[in-house]
Amino acid sequence: MDHGHAYRVPRRADLVLAVLQHDVDECFETARELAAAHPPMCALTLWLDRYCAFVLTKHGLAAALHSGEATFAGLGAQLLERLEPALDELVQAARAAGEMGDGASAMDLLRAVAHLCTPGPSHIDYTRRMITLLLAGLRQGSAAQRADPAAWATDETR
């Protein structure tokens, strides 16, 4: 290499950040795809399952995100802010369809699911059961639940 050329080797933190941003963008886009292909509450449930998988696959990065590395400063909040509009569209559609009550915001759901994923990938069955309970609670008071308590369940969400 001569003196006129410098090659910048990407730092590990930059590579991790690029992968995270790509995965968040995919998760964001999945919301639109699910909304177009499924009834509102089903789309919401499937998206939260996708988000859960995203959080669980990134479980090992928690230490890096809290390492003090400047690249990761505020990243957790940025990721949630990026995903909130996608989930909010699904939440609003489920409410408009009478399939979900007004008990929680999109940000509430993002944080709740992230916390439910805390035990890690080895506890996926537990995490999914807890998310199912959370969603059942959100259905309470919805027009669909009042009409027929079993109406919210589909083959895809059982």
3-state percent helix, strand, coil for the chain, nearest multiple of 5: 70, 0, 30
Domain boundaries, the chain: 12-147
CA distance 33 to 26: 11
Distance between alpha carbon 91 and the CA centroid of its chain, in Å?
Answer: 12
Instruction: Report whether 115 contacts 93 (CB < 8 A).
Output: no
CA distance 134 to 157: 13
pLDDT digits (tens, 9 = 90+) for 66-98: 666 666 666 777 888 899 999 999 999 999 999
pLDDT digits (tens, 9 = 90+) for 87-139: 999 999 999 999 998 878 999 999 999 999 887 778 889 999 999 999 998 88
CATH of domain 12-147: 1.10.357.10
